[in-house]
């Protein structure tokens, strides 16, 4: 006997076209996404059947835990106690996470190949094995490779659980049996779910696999780390909606020729955004650097022209970094303006201010500015140090020994204050700097810092004269 037409229609699978940039759905393929305007970004995705969509979340996702049904609650009755954090055993990692790992949090870790994502998570998993049992799920390596890396890093293998699997449903079944409190999925682009017919790594598979892991983390209170590949532009491969689904997005940065690595938080629901953690890569894995200012200034020489030390702020931490400038006569009709670690458009604006309010002409000069150590400075406190370094290189005269500077430069030539001036000066005094050029509004009371001369300036011309 034939099935009723309603049952046939409920079992029919339908497809949509999903944008790889923003995750928007479209009924049919088209060249440009209506939501974000991206071209050739739509890919076909097979949706779940109506019967699958109506099934309970526990059965669809591969685990059968008891979950309380949601209900409407008055916000006044909701407990707002501080969420308990668990230390990963790595201080710099805890700093970027916002003080430790929160229960039920989902963290996406991205970075270039070979920069140390898997190494850091494997080290954290081993250090937390005694307090927070974990499961390392690998979709790119064999278990022998994972065990070999752990032995090479000198990590204890007792208590470390590993699984070589890429199917999300089977991963969740093993997780229910092992009951870990921490799961590492390496990587999200290799995972796939049986409910979709698309290939692993496609937009639909990445989005649905991440959604099931996020749902599992929230319903069971298990912390989940997702390792993500990056595209050639430096973003996480897959739909942008992936970054909205997780609680924190961390990026590993660093030069392939340098042993130092920087872990930066671009999104964090449990801590400060743009928080920074510094690591050094060695034969025993990643080692935290608790005093990065000393590392960034290890090769600095304030007696050289074109160099100025500034105090920037990353998250909740003040950092001393060196800004270098090279100004040379240009053979081109349109001189070059190159900024590494700074915004190029802001450099061009600062040079115009230097000409208009400082009387320094650089229109026929190539100007190259670099922030030493691979740090990207995104705040305006770098304005004054950049101009001082440019003038020092142009005049071929170094700044005074042990001098630091910070301050925002306005278009009318005024020196504007920046946040947390006291903390910046305290960090500079700790490292032995004896002279500081700062905005007048950031100047402390006389005698606040013994052994340091604080020069307060209001105009760019005053700062150039003092320098």
Please report whether residue 233 resides in a domain.
yes
* Residues in Cβ contact with 2 at an 8 Å cutoff, skipping those fewer than 6 apart: none
Phi first, then psi, for residue 355 (nearest 5°) are -70, -45
Instruction: Count Cβ atoms below 10 Å from residue 78 Cβ, excluding itself.
Output: 7
| Contact assessment for residue 322 and residue 295, using Cβ atoms and an 8 Å cutoff | no
pLDDT at 10: 41
Phi, psi of 234, deg, nearest 5: 100, 0
Is residue 72 included in any domain, yes or no?
A: no
The last residue of one of the domains, among 239, 272, 290, is 290
pLDDT digits (tens, 9 = 90+) for 286-302: 999 888 888 778 665 55
Residue 56 located in a structural domain: no
342 close to 371: Cβ distance less than 8 angstroms? yes
CATH number of the domain that residue 387 is part of: 3.30.230.10
| Within-domain flag for 60 | no
User: Between these two residues, 135 and 131, which has the higher pLDDT value?
Assistant: 135
Question: Length of the chain in residues, anyone?
Answer: 467
268 and 169 co-located in one domain: yes
Residues 259 and 321 in one domain: no
**Cβ–Cβ under 8 Å, residues 376 and 313:** no
Rounded mean pLDDT, 432-437: 92
User: Residue range 45-53: average pLDDT?
Assistant: 55
267 in the same domain as 156: yes
**Has residue 335 been placed in a domain?**
yes
**Is there a domain that residue 67 lies in?**
no
Say whether both 139 and 273 belong to one domain: yes
**Residue 16 clears pLDDT 60, i.e. is over it:** yes
Residue 260 inside a domain? The answer is yes
Please state the pTM of the whole predicted model: 0.77
Structural domain ending residue among the three candidates 290, 320, 348: 290
Q: What is the DSSP letter of 302?
A: T
Model pLDDT, residue 301: 56
The SS3 assignment for 294 reads helix
Q: What is the largest CA-CA distance in the chain?
A: 96
Residue closest to 61 by CA, chosen among 170, 137, 198: 170
pLDDT tens-digit series, residues 324-337: 999 999 999 999 99
Question: Of 243, 275, 290, which marks where a domain is finished?
Answer: 290
Looking at the chain, the whole-number percentage of residues with pLDDT higher than 70 is: 88
pLDDT tens track for 207-223: 899 999 999 999 999 99
Residue 22 sits in which domain range?
A: 14-50
Asked if residues 214 and 178 have their Cβ atoms less than 8 Å apart, the reply is no
Q: Is 351 in the same domain as 387?
A: yes
The reply to whether 254 and 323 lie within a common domain is no
Which residues have CB under 8 Å from 381's CB, separation 6+? Answer: 310, 311, 312, 313, 406, 407, 408, 418, 424
Q: Are residues 155 and 286 in the same domain?
A: yes
Confidence of residue 19 (pLDDT cuts 50, 70, 90): confident
Is the domain of 378 the same as that of 440?
A: yes
d(CA 267, CA 97): 10
302 and 201 part of one domain: no
CA dist 354 and 137 (Å) reads 55
Give the mean model confidence (pLDDT) for residues 94-120.
Answer: 92
- What is the count of structural domains for the chain? 3
Q: Is residue 50 scored above 60 in pLDDT? A: no
What pLDDT was estimated at residue 223? 95
> Within a 10 A sphere around the Cβ of 36, how many other Cβ atoms?
14
Residues 311 and 427 in one domain: yes
State the CATH number of the domain containing residue 136: 3.40.50.300
Average pLDDT of the chain to the nearest whole number: 86
Taking alpha carbons only, the member of 424, 82, 102, 110 closest to residue 265 is 110
Residue 345 lies in a domain: yes
Q: pLDDT tens, 55-89?
A: 444 444 445 454 556 789 898 887 766 667 899 99
Tens of pLDDT, residue by residue over 248-280, are: 999 988 776 678 888 999 999 988 888 889 999
Q: Within this chain, do residues 359 and 264 fall inside the same structural domain, yes or no?
A: no
Any idea what DSSP says for residue 441?
A: G
Statement to judge: residues 261 and 406 lie in one domain: no
């Amino acid at each position: 006997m034939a099935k009723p037409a309603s049952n046939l229609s409920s079992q029919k699978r339908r497809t949509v076209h999903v944008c790889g940039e923003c995750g928007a759905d479209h009924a049919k393929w088209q060249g440009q996404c209506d939501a974000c305007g991206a071209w050739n970004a739509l890919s076909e995705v097979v949706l779940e059947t109506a019967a699958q969509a109506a099934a309970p979340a526990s059965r669809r996702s591969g685990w059968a835990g008891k979950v309380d049904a949601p209900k409407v609650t008055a916000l006044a009755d909701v407990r707002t106690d501080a969420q308990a954090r668990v230390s990963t055993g790595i201080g710099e990692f805890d700093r970027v996470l916002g003080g430790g790992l929160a229960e039920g949090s989902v963290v996406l870790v991205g970075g270039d190949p070979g920069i140390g994502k898997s190494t850091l998570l494997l080290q954290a998993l081993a250090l937390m094995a005694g307090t927070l049992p974990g499961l390392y799920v690998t979709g790119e390596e064999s278990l022998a490779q994972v065990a070999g890396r752990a032995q090479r890093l000198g990590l204890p293998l007792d208590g470390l659980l590993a699984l070589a699997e890429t199917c999300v449903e089977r991963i969740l079944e093993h997780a229910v049996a092992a009951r870990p409190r921490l799961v590492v999925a390496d990587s999200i682009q290799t995972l796939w779910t049986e409910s979709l017919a698309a290939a692993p790594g496609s937009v639909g598979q990445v989005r649905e696999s991440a959604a099931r892991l996020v749902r599992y983390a929230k319903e069971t209170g298990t912390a989940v780390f997702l390792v993500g590949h990056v595209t050639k532009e430096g973003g996480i491969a897959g739909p942008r909606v992936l970054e909205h689904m997780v609680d924190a997005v961390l990026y590993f940065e660093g030069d392939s020729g340098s042993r130092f690595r920087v872990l930066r938080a671009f999104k964090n629901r449990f801590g400060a955004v743009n928080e920074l953690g510094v690591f050094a890569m060695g034969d025993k894995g990643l080692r935290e650097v608790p005093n990065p200012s000393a590392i960034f200034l290890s090769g600095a020489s304030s007696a050289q022209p074109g160099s100025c030390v500034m105090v920037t702020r990353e998250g909740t931490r003040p950092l001393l970094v060196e800004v270098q400038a090279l100004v040379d006569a240009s053979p081109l009709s349109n001189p070059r303006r190159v900024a590494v670690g700074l915004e190029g458009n802001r450099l061009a604006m600062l040079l115009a201010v230097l000409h208009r309010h400082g009387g320094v002409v650089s229109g026929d000069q190539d100007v190259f500015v670099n922030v030493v150590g691979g740090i990207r400075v995104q705040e305006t406190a770098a304005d004054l140090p950049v101009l001082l370094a440019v003038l020092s290189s142009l005049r071929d005269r170094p700044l005074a020994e042990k001098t630091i500077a910070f301050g925002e430069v306005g278009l009318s030539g005024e020196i504007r204050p920046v946040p947390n001036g006291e903390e910046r000066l305290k960090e500079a005094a700790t490292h032995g700097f004896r002279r500081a050029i700062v905005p007048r509004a950031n100047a402390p009371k006389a005698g606040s810092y013994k052994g340091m001369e604080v020069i307060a300036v209001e105009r760019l011309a005053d700062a150039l004269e003092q320098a």
